[in-house]
Structure 1
Amino acid sequence: MILTTRQIQDAPLVLNPERKLTLVLRNLRLSDITNIAAASTKYQVLDLSGNELVTLARLPPDSVAQLEVLLLANNNITYVEEEFRNPGSLRSISLMNNNIHRFQPSFIRSFEKIESLVLVGNPITKLRDYRLFMIWLAPSLRALDLQKVSRSERQAASRKFGEERVLASGAVQEMFKLDIEPKSTEKSVALSSSDKQAHAVVNKLSETDKQQLLRKLENASSIEEIEQIENMIRSGRV
């Protein structure tokens, strides 16, 4: 379904907990948002969760001039188009529960200046050295998949893939060859002790509580919110 001007006009404009104006276009079965250019330029958060988008496409620069947070959880996004660019103000993207399954060289430009990126629930997270390579591709990241990026991770990423982002290096080219098809049944990578603790806490939750936690993660619009939720999970206070 193509986003219409009428849907934009009827869409709720709400203030999130951080008092950021949010344009809510979730659960509308949208597969094409070309007409987003018709929206007001005042919103800071664009919520497109729960639609049927298959690519992360170019956003009209004039219509997203103040955009800081892009919420795209629970779509069917498989890849990021070459034309997708950060309008300059964008700092946080949630792509939770989509179908991104390989690294793309364009990630360097696509995620420029991004401080928080969530790819939980995508096949790409099962690829070898996924976390280190994403940190190398997007050095501005402060949090990846709800976990703060540590100094030691940045150093490890530099050692493995190079101090400079040179795409022609052998180690980098090998990463771009990796691929896991969407909805793969590959075994999950080993979890750290802290991750195991977090999973154990979440598994004990009721279905209602799990859904509430998922909504909190989807709507997190800052590093501070993500860290707060992560700490609550790990301490069992969810």
Structure 2
Amino acid sequence: MSEEQWTREREAFLSLPRLAGRLTAELILRSPQGLDPSQDYAIDLRANKIAAIENMGATQNQFDAIDLSDNEIVKLEGFPPLSRLHTLYLMNNRIARVGVDLSQQIPMLKALYLTNNRLKNLADLDPLKSCRRLTHLSLLGNPVSKNPDYRLYAVYSLPALKVLDFRKVKQAEREAAEKKFGGKDGLKAREAAKTFEVGDVGVGGGGDAAGAGESNVTGPTPQQLLALQAAIANAETLEEVARLENALSNGVMPSDFQI
């Protein structure tokens, strides 16, 4: 399926009436699926008012990427073992908890986009520690990102992480994270950091009016991410590759970039 066909089918699907309801096998089977611009086999389950992840066995472990953005999901769990899946888009949901079995359910997970959700505390990130292949993570627009220790804690907890909130993880950050949280001396610092409380500022949750200023921090959309990845693959010069990779890492789309 070409990128043009993918876009056309997705637009036709999104024009259908949306029913508040469940993620059923029928919905999965009739949702747009095919090669996305980055040549991953993907399924688009956006904007279906889904409240819980279920019946994902109907995907038959066929997909590299799944887009569940713009729904009403409150908990990141409920996947069967999906050994092929490596990228999850979950922007603009109500996710306040990550299941402890996520790494067993999605052992190859390397990219997780949770922009604009409701994770509040650093302890909410702990289930991700066992996701050993996780290199790209976005928690922009989550209350936890207001914790002053958030970035260093995430870098310490996720050693494979390369890009956090569309910013490259620098060696200096790794060293600072290890110094603060590493070893026995860092145990107290880790526990103290977890006690920092952030009020529910209304971010995420599919467009709540409260906390509108925070929800403006969105980062690239899934479509922009895919388009950037495809452009990098097709770039003809090293300078263009460097420019596009910088945009991908920083989450800032080039002014001349068109999808």
Q: Is this a same-fold pair by TM over 0.5?
A: yes
**For residue 128 of structure 2, what is the aligned residue in structure 1?**
107
Partner Cα separation in structure 2 for residue 212 and residue 171 of structure 1: 30
Partner Cα separation in structure 1 for residue 253 and residue 228 of structure 2: 20
CA contact (8 A) 2:77 2:99 kept: yes
Q: What 5-or-longer segments of structure 2 have no aligned partner?
A: 1-20, 204-215, 233-243
Q: CA deviation digits over 1:194-222, x for unaligned, max 9?
A: xxxxxxxxx9xxxxxx9995454565796
CA contact (8 A) 1:167 1:173 kept: no
Partner Cα separation in structure 2 for residue 146 and residue 212 of structure 1: 7
Q: Shift of residue 85 of structure 1?
A: 1.9
Give the direction of change, closer, same or farther, for the CA distance of 1:134–1:212 in structure 2 (3 Å limit).
closer
Q: Shift of residue 180 of structure 1?
A: 1.0
RMSD over aligned CA atoms reads 3.0
Q: CA deviation digits over 1:17-42, x for unaligned, max 9?
A: 21101111110000122111121311
CA contact (8 A) 1:15 1:21 kept: yes
Identity of aligned residues (%): 28
* 1:179 matches 2:197: yes
Give the direction of change, closer, same or farther, for the CA distance of 1:96–1:213 in structure 2 (3 Å limit).
closer
* 1:46 matches 2:73: no
CA contact (8 A) 1:54 1:75 kept: yes
Q: Shift of residue 174 of structure 1?
A: 0.7
2:117 alignment partner, SS class? coil
CA contact (8 A) 2:95 2:117 kept: yes
Amino acid at match of 1:90: L
Q: Shift of residue 173 of structure 1?
A: 0.6
**For residue 192 of structure 1, what is the aligned residue in structure 2?**
none
Q: Shift of residue 230 of structure 1?
A: 4.7
* 1:149 matches 2:190: no
Amino acid at match of 1:98: N
CA contact (8 A) 1:114 1:138 kept: yes
2:152 alignment partner, SS class? helix
Q: TM-score, normalised by structure 1?
A: 0.77
Partner Cα separation in structure 2 for residue 39 and residue 234 of structure 1: 32
When the two structures are aligned, how many residues end up with a matched partner?
Answer: 209
